[in-house]
């Protein structure tokens, strides 16, 4: 919302400067986004009058002008072709300044000296989108005679500011100059001077001009119309044009400008139809027929649907209600009779239609937030008054007003002690009443209650708390003295699962892994990229109805795609190694199509590459789980997961329950992600980890007796797993084996083809006594015997 300060001051008598107004209004709830000074850097631009125009002798497109600027007559060469002798125009003489620090110098155009330049609106600092179309390329011609040599900044009011506000959606009434004036009045305790609407001269009768107005649709609560005759279309006066431009609206012609002016003034969007072009002189407010077409003011043909509310005449649509008028009934230079519309269209209907057409206009943005239906009449009458004042036409007597659900003032009871209690302040009832009255909410004390009258322009005030807010914001939240919380004493804590999560993250960081974070939604193609088989349950993903493109269109059921993608990004950006983890949700639907909320299953996802192998990842997983008290994990070979290398992948089993998978990523998947290095990924069910975590630690005494070491070197078939050998070693330990360490594994020279050599160092220790050689030797022997029997192992000497 753009508020030209000069305009505001028409209704609020104050000499406060823009900064003070802006700060005050911000603290009372109208957030100022910026203060814009209209003078974008003009210096010494003055009014001049064209005395003569003469073609340049050597250049067809140039004109030599003699311009009177009061104290002297200048010769200026211009390329513009919209000038006539006697025109008053802005002149930048040599030495004057234009926006962008452009200093005007004497120039020579093909042998003719030019002592300055004539300015367009753009050169005066107006932006393209508010400059009237016919003035786009030409010099700006003033609407009247002004004193020659007078500063243009004064004449056009460029020494003023415009304050830009962010208006919250609950306050559509503030999308108007009067609305903001009301806020200013309440904030600074200055009386509000609203315009007094008075039409001097009304002739004939509207019934002579309009056949009928019908409103069959439920989406139009009010339609108020008046007629203007003897319309004289021409540009509106400069003061009105500059106001519109300052507020961000392009001037068009007097009638249209006045409707826009009043829209800005009151916040009620209005429309003017050329009544001669309305077939049958009938206005029908109805839903469009499916496929019906309309050419809108922006000269685009739009196909309507049955949910669009339109204004139609006997034959065809002549406007999209609350969004944009139709081209066929547009005001043109030949318009003689005008029908003025002040209507109240349904918020939702306007919003949906405007959205469907991608057509957001000053009107639609106001309608979709909700407008007081009582404004329709006030605003149209105000237009009539201005038309009369400017002399743009003659007002026809009477109106047609179809008003279904008449909006009336309401009342809310307010408990003064509730105000103080909720805000934590202590102010008097009188002070409360004065704040409310300042906002135009007539209030009075009746016994213990403040009876507050709610005018229809405050559609947002519905309950007591709303009024407490009004008092609070005018008292100033910044004036509320802070007070410590009292009440029930509570102990702050994190849920157990979150504490385990924090602990897990600390362990992983200690192991050198960085934490990553990826989107919860992925591309459905990702499931192909990780080679998930067709029937996999992980393909039962949840889809978004309205995704932001395919890449973010389905909820992830696995964290592998996100992990691969980020590792690939790092790899392809030349990052040599990466070790990362993420703890994030996967989303598993109980049924598809989805019924009720899905299961959000937390996954610990780990990914590493760069001079790494399977065992690096396994160690990370093992140590992390170990530190969480999850020990004795069994690793079972997993050959059927198609995302992974079949020979280098394991399932993790704990206590008979699968808790995850880890392994090397399949080379096909690596290719899909454009990675030319081995990648290792683990996916662990974090909910199960939390369940299984055991943080209880029991101290075990330090050993008092010496250990005995024995080495064991064997040759076995290369397919025998060391994990299985270790199981046999442990089995015979009689509780005396403290540690089994695999210190060498070897294939090659001196070892037969298909075999491998494995060497263990076994530490024996008792916590009760010193071990004897012979008992350890016995154990060793039984181990060896078992290994020979079970795996056909040969002892290596």
Peptide bond into 159 cis (omega under 30): no
| Nearest CB to other proteins, comparing residues 355 and 739 | 355
Restricted to residues 666-685, the positions that interact with other proteins (CB under 8 A) are: none
CA 432 – CA 421 distance, rounded (Å): 13
Q: 117 near 61, Cβ under 8 Å? A: no
The single residue among 511, 707, 713, 740 that binds other proteins, judged by CB under 8 A, is 511
Answer left, alpha or beta for residue 764, where phi above 0 means left and psi between -120 and 50 means alpha: beta
SS (H, E, C) 354-411: HHHHCCCCHHHHHHCCCCCCCHHHHHHHHHHHHHHHHCCCEEECCCEEEECCCCCCEE
Restricted to residues 87-116, the positions that interact with other proteins (CB under 8 A) are: none
- Contact between 570 and other proteins by CB under 8 A: the answer reads yes
| Nearest CB to other proteins, comparing residues 19 and 234 | 19
The single residue among 41, 391, 424, 706 that binds other proteins, judged by CB under 8 A, is 424
| Nearest CB to other proteins, comparing residues 578 and 779 | 578
| Nearest CB to other proteins, comparing residues 54 and 576 | 576
Structural tokens at position 537? 């349950």
Q: 283 near 206, Cβ under 8 Å? A: no
x/- mask, other proteins, residues 40-79, rule CB under 8 A, reads: ----------------------------------------
Restricted to residues 573-592, the positions that interact with other proteins (CB under 8 A) are: 573, 575, 578-580, 585, 587
At which residue do the structure tokens 């919860």 appear? 520
| Nearest CB to other proteins, comparing residues 295 and 359 | 359
Restricted to residues 274-303, the positions that interact with other proteins (CB under 8 A) are: none
Report, in Å, the least distance between residue 566 CB and other proteins: 4
Report, in Å, the least distance between residue 221 CB and other proteins: 15
Is 753 marked as binding a ligand?
no
Partner residues linked to 326 by β-bridges? 296
Is 470 marked as binding a ligand?
yes
Is 202 marked as binding a ligand?
no
Report, in Å, the least distance between residue 475 CB and other proteins: 10
The single residue among 44, 170, 434, 456 that binds other proteins, judged by CB under 8 A, is 170
| Nearest CB to other proteins, comparing residues 346 and 443 | 346
CA 694 – CA 697 distance, rounded (Å): 8
The single residue among 332, 509, 730, 770 that binds other proteins, judged by CB under 8 A, is 509
| Nearest CB to other proteins, comparing residues 493 and 768 | 493
Cα distances from 576 to residues 2, 281, 606, 616, in angstroms, run 54, 78, 17, 16
Restricted to residues 171-210, the positions that interact with other proteins (CB under 8 A) are: 171
Report, in Å, the least distance between residue 268 CB and other proteins: 20
DSSP 327: S
x/- mask, other proteins, residues 525-564, rule CB under 8 A, reads: -----------------xxxxxxx---x--x---------
Name the pairing type of β-strands 107-109 and 73-78. unpaired
- Contact between 748 and other proteins by CB under 8 A: the answer reads no
Q: 342 near 377, Cβ under 8 Å? A: yes
CA 458 – CA 262 distance, rounded (Å): 19
Q: 416 near 429, Cβ under 8 Å? A: yes
x/- mask, other proteins, residues 592-611, rule CB under 8 A, reads: -xx--xx-x-----------
The residue range among 28-36, 157-165, 337-345, 626-634 that interacts with other proteins, by the rule CB under 8 A, is: 28-36
Q: 294 near 302, Cβ under 8 Å? A: yes
Structural tokens at position 785? 């015997």
- Contact between 351 and other proteins by CB under 8 A: the answer reads yes
CA 94 – CA 234 distance, rounded (Å): 34
- Contact between 14 and other proteins by CB under 8 A: the answer reads no
Helices (H), 16-149: 18-27
- Contact between 327 and other proteins by CB under 8 A: the answer reads no
Q: Is 318 helix (H, G, I), strand (E, B) or coil?
A: strand
Q: 515 near 582, Cβ under 8 Å? A: yes
x/- mask, other proteins, residues 461-500, rule CB under 8 A, reads: --xxxx-xx--xx---xx-xxxxxxxxxxxxxxxx-xx--
Report, in Å, the least distance between residue 587 CB and other proteins: 6
CA 652 – CA 636 distance, rounded (Å): 7
Report, in Å, the least distance between residue 267 CB and other proteins: 17
Q: Which residues are annotated as a binding site for Mg(2+)?
A: 460, 466, 469-470
């Amino acid at each position: 919302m753009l508020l030209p300060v000069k305009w505001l001051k028409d209704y609020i008598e104050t000499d406060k400067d823009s900064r003070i107004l802006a700060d005050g209004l911000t603290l009372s709830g109208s957030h100022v986004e910026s203060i814009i000074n209209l003078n974008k850097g003009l210096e010494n631009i003055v009014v001049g009058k064209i005395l003569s125009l003469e073609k340049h002798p050597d250049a067809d497109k140039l004109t030599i002008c003699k311009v009177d600027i009061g104290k002297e007559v200048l010769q200026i060469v211009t390329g513009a072709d919209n000038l006539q002798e006697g025109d008053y125009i802005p002149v930048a003489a040599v030495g004057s300044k234009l926006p962008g620090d452009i200093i005007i110098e004497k120039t020579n155009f093909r042998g003719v000296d030019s002592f300055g330049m004539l300015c367009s609106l753009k050169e005066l600092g107006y932006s393209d989108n508010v400059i009237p179309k016919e003035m786009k390329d030409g010099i700006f011609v003033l609407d009247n005679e002004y004193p020659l040599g007078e500063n243009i900044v004064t004449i056009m009011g460029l020494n003023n500011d415009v304050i830009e506000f962010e208006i919250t959606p609950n306050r559509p009434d503030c999308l108007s100059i009067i609305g903001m004036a009301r806020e200013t009045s309440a904030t600074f305790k200055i009386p509000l001077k609203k315009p007094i609407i008075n039409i001097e001269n009304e002739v004939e009768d509207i019934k002579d001009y309009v056949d009928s107005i019908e409103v069959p649709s439920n989406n139009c609560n009010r339609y108020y119309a008046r007629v203007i005759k003897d319309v004289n279309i021409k540009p509106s006066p400069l003061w009105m044009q500059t106001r519109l431009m300052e507020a961000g609206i392009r001037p068009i012609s007097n009638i249209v400008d006045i409707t826009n002016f009043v829209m800005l003034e009151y916040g009620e969007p209005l429309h003017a139809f050329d009544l001669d072009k309305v077939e049958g002189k009938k206005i029908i407010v109805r839903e469009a027929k499916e496929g019906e077409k309309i050419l809108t003011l922006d000269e685009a043909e739009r196909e309507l649907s049955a949910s669009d509310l339109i204004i139609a005449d006997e034959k065809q649509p002549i406007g999209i209600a609350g969004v944009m008028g139709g081209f066929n009934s547009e005001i043109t230079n030949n318009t003689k009779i005008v029908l003025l519309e002040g209507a109240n269209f349904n918020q939702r209907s306007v919003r949906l239609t405007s959205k469907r057409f991608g057509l957001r206009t000053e009107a639609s943005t106001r309608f979709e937030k909700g407008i007081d239906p009582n404004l329709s009449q006030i605003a149209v009458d105000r237009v009539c008054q201005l038309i009369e004042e400017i002399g743009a036409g003659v007002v026809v007597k009477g109106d047609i007003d179809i008003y279904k659900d008449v909006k009336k003032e309401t009342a809310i009871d307010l408990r003064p002690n509730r105000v103080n209690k909720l805000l934590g302040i202590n102010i008097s009832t009188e002070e409360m009443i004065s704040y409310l009255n300042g906002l135009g909410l007539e209030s009075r004390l009746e016994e213990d209650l403040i009876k507050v009258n709610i005018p229809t322009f405050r559609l947002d005030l519905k309950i007591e708390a709303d009024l407490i807010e009004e008092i609070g914001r005018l008292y100033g939240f910044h004036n509320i003295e802070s007070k410590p919380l009292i009440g029930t004493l509570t102990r702050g804590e994190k849920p157990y699962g979150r504490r385990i999560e924090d602990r897990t993250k600390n362990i992983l960081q200690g192991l050198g892994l960085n934490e990553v974070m990826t989107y919860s939604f992925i591309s459905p193609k990702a499931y192909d990229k990780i080679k998930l088989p067709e029937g996999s349950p992980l393909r039962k993903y949840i889809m978004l109805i309205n995704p932001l493109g395919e890449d973010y269109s389905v909820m992830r059921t696995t964290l592998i795609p996100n992990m691969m993608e980020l590792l690939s990004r790092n790899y392809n950006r030349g990052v040599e190694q990466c070790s990362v983890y993420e703890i994030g949700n996967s989303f598993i639907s109980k049924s598809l199509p989805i019924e009720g909320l899905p299961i959000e299953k937390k996954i610990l996802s780990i990914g590493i590459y760069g001079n790494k192998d399977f065992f690096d990842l396994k160690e990370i997983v093992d140590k992390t789980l170990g530190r969480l008290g999850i020990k004795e994990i069994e690793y079972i070979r997993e050959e059927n997961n198609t995302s992974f290398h079949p020979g280098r992948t394991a399932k993790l089993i704990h206590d008979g329950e699968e808790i995850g998978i880890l392994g090397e990523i399949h080379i096909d998947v690596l290719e899909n992600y454009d990675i030319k290095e081995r990648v290792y990924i683990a996916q662990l069910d974090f909910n199960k980890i939390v369940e299984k975590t055991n943080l209880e630690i029991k101290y075990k005494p330090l050993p008092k007796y010496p250990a005995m070491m024995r080495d064991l070197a064997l040759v076995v078939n290369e397919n025998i797993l060391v994990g299985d050998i270790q199981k046999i070693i442990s089995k015979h330990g009689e509780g005396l084996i403290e540690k089994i360490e695999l210190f060498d594994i070897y294939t090659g020279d001196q070892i037969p083809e298909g075999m491998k050599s494995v060497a263990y160092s076994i530490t024996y220790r008792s916590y009760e006594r010193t071990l004897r050689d012979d008992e350890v030797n016995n154990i060793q022997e039984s181990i060896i015997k078992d290994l020979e029997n079970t795996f056909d192992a040969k002892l290596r000497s």
